[in-house]
Every structure is written in structure tokens, then in C-alpha cells.
Amino acid sequence: MKICCIGAGYVGGPTMAVIAFKCPEIEVVVVDIAAPRINAWNSEQLPIYEPGLDDVVKQCRGKNLFFSTDVEKHVAEADIVFVSVNTPTKTQGLGAGKAADLTYWESAARMIADVSKSDKIVVEKSTVPVKTAEAIERILTHNRKGINFNILSNPEFLAEGTAIADLFNPDRVLIGGRETPEGQKAIKTLKDVYAHWVSDDRILCTNLWSAELSKLAANAFLAQRISSVNAMSALCEATGADVSQVSHAIGTDSRIGPKFLNASVGFGGSCFQKDILNLVYICECNGLPEVANYWKQVIKVNDYQKTRFVNRIVSSMFNTVSGKKIAILGFAFKKDTGDTRETPAIDVCKGLLGDKAKLSIYDPQVTEEQITRDLSMKKFDWDHPAHLQPSSPVTNNKQVSVVWDAYEAIKDAHGICILTEWDEFKKLDYQKVYESMQKPAFVFDGRNVVDANKLREIGFIVYSIGKPL
Ligand code: NAD
Ligand code: UGA
């Protein structure tokens, strides 16, 4: 059997590496139109940072795992084609700012239809609006060459930073297909791939629309938990309750559960916002404005949390940060990834820059080039890759410097903002940090990683999310 995956990104790369690792008899080829990305997958420096990924890739690459730009050849030869291209939020036209932009998906589907000479199972790995399979089926069969395409929805639930662990030991694998004999046969073929390492009870089979919608629903529910706890954090600050204690207290109720209740500066990442906006748009299109408004509120609370954080910084620092150096610790949207897509750090930095602060940014996994690009990009443009777009200018901002050491970022700063929960920020020598800063020295902990009381003993003024001052 030969598998080809279109899209060598955060999902395509790790998922295919794990399939190749677990299924040595299957040839897996990951293809992409972005040559630099493919070159990086074939090099010592993989294009994404993900714990455990290097090991898996090194064990299979060149044996049964390949990365190539020869998209058409490998698609033509494959029995199963996964499509894992980006599905960003539309920036223009009908549904701009909400609807999913399926341009990349559609062009992949047209190419599959054009180059195929044998029957294929086409798997939606990307997150797509419910009912996309119907449109894709129409595209696949447009040139009526007598080839059978069976379309499956197999959404991915991995989280970045833990992708390999999630793929090795998934809570579930979801496969949706047509309820016809051919559809069921296609489900069985894909199920057999996962059955190499996932137990039967964890492979859920549904109809196409349930699988497509379950992915949007899962992300909406996860993000909703964070907005719920973040909304509580504002009330905690107003009342003297401590959000960590509240999270613990409610999380011990087995119906609520303890996970995903960490208050923060706001959720980020490439998918939560995009997928909820997509869900909102689908609800609106289906004449369900109340449902749309319910989910829209999850995004509004997230935006409120980021704004609230910036306002807190400015108001604490005597109502102005103009000309003041602020150290930004962490830029990635969560720890253990170098990914900055929709990171709350972008909004917080832009907010502070708007008040004329001078920022010194440090993140162990994010380059200066990436940060500069992120801070000069318009909302939603980030997921329309540069190589697929007319070139956009990257502006150098004199208010921003990017350094490779936390202590250097902090030296002579008036305040520190912790925006990613990297473990190393817990272990800094805060006495040394205090001595190197302007006084009064402020810490704004957007991830609740520091021991605020210990820092206060040193002399810092500390603001944590959802905790008494
Ligand atoms: P990504 O941007 O990292 O990767 C997508 C890749 O597809 C890019 O390298 C791009 O060059 C390539 N591509 C686009 N059009 C192409 C075409 N026509 N032919 C060949 N290659 C093409 O995106 P990602 O983070 O891997 O996400 C992919 C999909 O998976 C999205 O729909 C996303 O919502 C979903 N998803 C992402 C995650 C995650 O953690 N990042 C988790 C679950 C699901
Ligand atoms: C999320 C989901 O967890 C995955 O199941 C899903 O496959 C993926 O989106 C996707 O569709 O892209 P990811 O965005 O990689 O994964 O990372 P998460 O661990 O979910 O974190 C998302 C954001 O929420 C981060 O900014 C994180 O810091 C924040 N978060 C998370 C909190 O603020 N509090 C929490 O308690 C948990």
C-alpha cells in the first residue's frame, strides 16, 4: 500500500511520520508545493520543533517515509491520499473574517482528480466546514474518467508540543465515511492502518458529517473552557478569589474534570479562533443566529482577556509605558513549540507598542525573523503562506528588539511580561533579575508560572491572572 499526504505542515509531517513508524510495510510520502519546507524535512533541522519528532523521522526517513515536491507523481501512485493543507479564515469576499478559505483544499482536490489513473481513498485531514466532503466529491468526479474516489473525514486531534505523544496514544481516532458498501469498505481500509497501534474501541466510525462537525465541536468546547475560566479570572481579581483554587475546586467534580482549566492571557494557536469563526459562520448560514452568538462569545472573551492584560500593564505602570523597556518572555502560543500562529503575544505586543513601549523579546524557539513578520502582519494573513501569496513587506520596528537570553531581555527593563509558560521562566534567578531592573520592578505573569509571593518578598510588584494582588 502507498499513502501520500498533501501538505507537509504541523499536521501532515508528524501524523505521516507516525503512520510510517507504526506501519513499516506501508510506503508514506509527504508532498508539498513549498520546496523550502520539503528540504527542511529532508535535512537535520526539521521545519517544526516538536518533542520526539526528530527520533521518529530519523528512524523511518529513506526507508518507508519520504518527503517530496513531486506532488503529482506521488498522488498518482497512492492508494490513500490524505489532504492536510491549511484551511485559513477568509480575508476577503463572502464570509471574510469568519468562513474557511478552501482555496488550498480545492486546488489539491482538482489536482488529485487530474492526475489520478487508479481508484483512491481521499482523506480529509485538514479541519473543514461540515459538508465539505460533498463539494470535494463533486470536484473529484468532475472529469468523469471512470475512477472511483471514496472520500473519508479523518480529523486530527493532536495538540502541538505533545503531537507525538498524542499520535502514539490518541484518546480516539475518528473516521467518517459514506454509509454505502463502498464507503464502509474505505472506512475499513483506513481503520486497518490505525489498527497497527490503536485499539479497536478507540477508533470511532461515523457518517461524514458527524466526523467533520465533531472536529469543529471539539475545538469549540476546548476553547470554551478556557474562555470560561478566563472570564472567572476577571471576577476573581475583582473579588479576591484565586482562580487556581477555583479551577481546582470545580475540576474535582468528575463531571467537569481537571484538565484545560488554566487561566491565561488568552488562548492562541492556529485553530481555536479559526475553527470557532468557521462554526459561527456555518450557524449563521443555517439560520441559527442564537447558536452563532453563543460561540462568538468564546472569541470575544478571549479578545477581552488579552486587552485586559495590556490595560493592566499600562495602568499599573502609572498609565504610560511610553519609552519604557518591557521584557517579553515567551512568544510562542504555548510551551514546547516554536509556533506563533495567533499567539496572544502578538496582540499583547501590539497593544504595548501602541502605547509606545520598547520591547525586548525572548523565546527559546522563535526567531527574530518570525517575530518581526508576526508583528507586521495583518489579522488572518498569517495562515496564507508567503509562498502562496504576493510578497508582503516585513517592516523592521525600532521599538522591538529580539534577544537570545532571558536575562539580556530583562536587563534595565521596567517590567517583565510572561506570555508563554516555558519551564525555564520558573527557574530564573529572580533575585538577580530584580537587581538588573529599573525600580519599581513589575512582573505581569500571563501564564501564572511564577511564585508571586516569593517575588513580592524580593521586592517585585507582581500581577498574576485571576489572583489577589
Ligand atoms: P500548515 O500551514 O503547517 O501546513 C499546510 C501545508 O500545506 C503548507 O506547508 C502548504 O505549503 C501546503 N499546501 C497548501 N496548499 C497545497 C497544495 N495545493 N499542494 C501541496 N501543498 C499545499 O498547516 P497545519 O497546521 O499542518 O494544518 C493543516 C490543517 O490541519 C488545517 O486545516 C488545520 O486546521 C488542521 N489541524 C491543525 C492542527 C495543528 O495543531 N496545527 C491540529 C489539528 C488539525
Ligand atoms: C488544540 C487542541 O487541543 C487539539 O486537540 C486540536 O487538534 C488542535 O487545537 C487543532 O485543531 O489545531 P493546540 O492549539 O495545538 O491544540 O494546543 P492547546 O494545548 O489546545 O492550546 C491552545 C491554546 O490554549 C494555547 O495558547 C494554550 O496556552 C491555551 N490554553 C490551554 C490555556 O490558556 N489554558 C488551558 O488550560 C489550556
Q: Which residues line ligand 2 (CB under 6 A)?
A: 127, 156-160, 219, 222, 226, 260-262, 264, 267-272, 333-334
Rounded distance between C-alpha atoms, residue 79 and residue 95, angstroms: 35
- Residues of the chain predicted below pLDDT 70: 144, 379-397
In angstroms, the Cα distances linking 229 to 209, 235, 250, 263, 343 are: 30, 10, 10, 6, 18
Q: 127 CB less than 6 Å from ligand 1?
A: yes
- The pLDDT value recorded for residue 378 is 72
Q: Does the annotation count 5 as an active-site position?
A: no
Q: 302 CB less than 6 Å from ligand 1?
A: no
Is residue 251 a known part of a binding site? no
Q: Which of 363, 447, 368 is nearest to 405 (CA)?
A: 363
- The pLDDT value recorded for residue 266 is 98
Domains within the chain, CATH numbers bracketed: 2-198 (3.40.50.720), 217-464 (3.40.50.720)
- The pLDDT value recorded for residue 451 is 97
Q: Which of 86, 136, 156, 384 to mutate to test the pocket of ligand 1 (most atoms within 8 A of CB)?
A: 86
Tell me how long the chain is.
469
Q: Whose CA is nearest to atom 29 of ligand 2?
A: 267
In the reported structure, the alpha carbon of residue 42 is separated from the centroid of ligand 2 by a whole-number distance in angstroms of: 28
Secondary structure (H, E, C), the chain: CEEEEECCCCCHHHHHHHHHHHCCCCEEEEECCCHHHHHHHCCCCCCCCCCCHHHHHHHHECCCEEEECCHHHHHHHCCEEEECCCCCECCCCCCCCCCECCHHHHHHHHHHHHHCCCCEEEEECCCCCCCHHHHHHHHHCCCCCCCCEEEEECCCCCCCCCHHHHHHCCCCEEEEECCCHHHHHHHHHHHHHHCCCCCHHHEEEEEHHHHHHHHHHHHHHHHHHHHHHHHHHHHHHHHCCCHHHHHHHHHCCCCCCCCCCCCCCCCCCCCHHHHHHHHHHHHHHCCCHHHHHHHHHHHHHHHHHHHHHHHHHHHHCCCCCCCCEEEEECCCCCCCCCCCCCCHHHHHHHHHHHCCCEEEEECCCCCHHHHHHHHHCCCCHHHCCHHHCCCCCCCCCCCEEECCCHHHHHCCCCEEEECCCCHHHCCCCHHHHHHCCCCCCEEEECCCCCCHHHHHHHCCEEEECCCCC
* Residues in CB range of 80: below 8 A, 6 or more apart: 1, 2, 3, 4, 120, 121, 123, 189, 190, 193
Is residue 438 a known part of a binding site? no
- The pLDDT value recorded for residue 396 is 53
User: Which ligand is nearest the CA of 274, by number?
Assistant: 1
Rounded distance between C-alpha atoms, residue 431 and residue 435, angstroms: 6
Is residue 131 a known part of a binding site? no
In angstroms, the Cα distances linking 89 to 100, 103, 104, 275, 391 are: 5, 11, 12, 8, 19
Half-sphere exposure of 142 (CA within 13 A, CB side): 14
Give the model confidence (pLDDT) of 103-159 as tens digits.
999 999 999 999 999 999 999 999 999 999 999 999 998 876 789 999 999 999 999
- The pLDDT value recorded for residue 383 is 62
Give the model confidence (pLDDT) of 410-456 as tens digits.
999 999 999 999 999 999 999 999 999 999 999 999 999 999 999 99
User: Which ligand is nearest the CA of 261, by number?
Assistant: 2
Q: 133 CB less than 6 Å from ligand 1?
A: no
In the reported structure, the alpha carbon of residue 248 is separated from the centroid of ligand 1 by a whole-number distance in angstroms of: 35
Q: How far is CA 136 from the centre of its chain?
A: 24
Q: Whose CA is nearest to atom 14 of ligand 1?
A: 85
Q: 10 CB less than 6 Å from ligand 1?
A: yes
Is residue 32 a known part of a binding site? yes
Q: Which of 4, 5, 6, 10 to mutate to test the pocket of ligand 1 (most atoms within 8 A of CB)?
A: 10
Q: 175 CB less than 6 Å from ligand 1?
A: no
> 208-239 and 132-140 helices cross at what angle (nearest 10)?
140
Find out whether 306 and 395 touch, Cβ atoms under 8 Å. Answer: no
Half-sphere exposure of 383 (CA within 13 A, CB side): 25
Of 4, 271, 283, 349, the active-site residue reads: 271
In the reported structure, the alpha carbon of residue 275 is separated from the centroid of ligand 1 by a whole-number distance in angstroms of: 14
Q: Which of 142, 73, 133, 84 is nearest to 113 (CA)?
A: 142
Q: Which of 247, 250, 299 is nearest to 276 (CA)?
A: 299
Q: Which of 10, 214, 222, 256 to mutate to test the pocket of ligand 2 (most atoms within 8 A of CB)?
A: 222
- The pLDDT value recorded for residue 394 is 46
Q: 271 CB less than 6 Å from ligand 1?
A: yes
Q: Which residues of 229-262 are buried (b: 16+ CB within 10 A; e: fewer)?
A: bbbbbbebbeeebbbbebbeebeeeeeeeeebbb
Is residue 93 a known part of a binding site? no
